[in-house]
Structure 1
Amino acid sequence: MEPLRADMFEEICPSSLNPVRFGRDKWAGLVIRCLEDGPRRFSELRVPLHRLTPKALTRSLRLLEQDGLITRTEYAEPVRRVVYELTPLGRSLLEPMRVACEWTAAHWDALLDAREA
């Protein structure tokens, strides 16, 4: 699996203007997108989500886990390792998220104008 890009979520991108929220906090949608291609470790998630503090990312992960959208698996290997992964319920959000992102991209100018007004 390819590493997540640091510029996956730029400062000004459609996700920042999307009026539709997925999950209980504003970062949940971004976390879900990071897990779209498979399981990731906390440190991997921090790369594209560098604007979040570790505390905010931990809170978002816990809320997503409580809602049944992700699983947290801890491995007690020689070095402790924790992996986060989308559940089938979490995966079912990917299509509605794609549609919401397409809508936001199509209405980018109107959304920017409304926010600046």
Structure 2
Amino acid sequence: MKKIYPDNYVKQFEDMPFIVAVAAETMNIPGDQGDAGLSPGDIMERAESAISRYPVHAKEICLITLAILADSLIPNEASRSLLREHLARMDELINEAAWSSQLKRTARAA
């Protein structure tokens, strides 16, 4: 079974997207564990545990769990980079949508 290195995934971002930071924090992936390889089942168990403790962050945890798994399975560096770029862009879009939604609710309440 192929080992997955979630710390390496977390460390690769110069500016860590919020979604990655949330998942790393809730799944206890500090980014400094070095060569602590996990099996896909171990990653899934961490995700399940994190979701049960932090259900409000279930979407972030699920998305990053899938991204970590995909990153470990894609052999081509260019493809992994593309996946990371899209993840960072999705994070921006999610934050923009949340901000826009909050502004609309605030305007209606006024």
Which structure dedicates a bigger proportion of its chain to helix? 2
Which structure dedicates a bigger proportion of its chain to strand? 1
Question: Does TM-score exceed 0.5, indicating one fold?
Answer: no
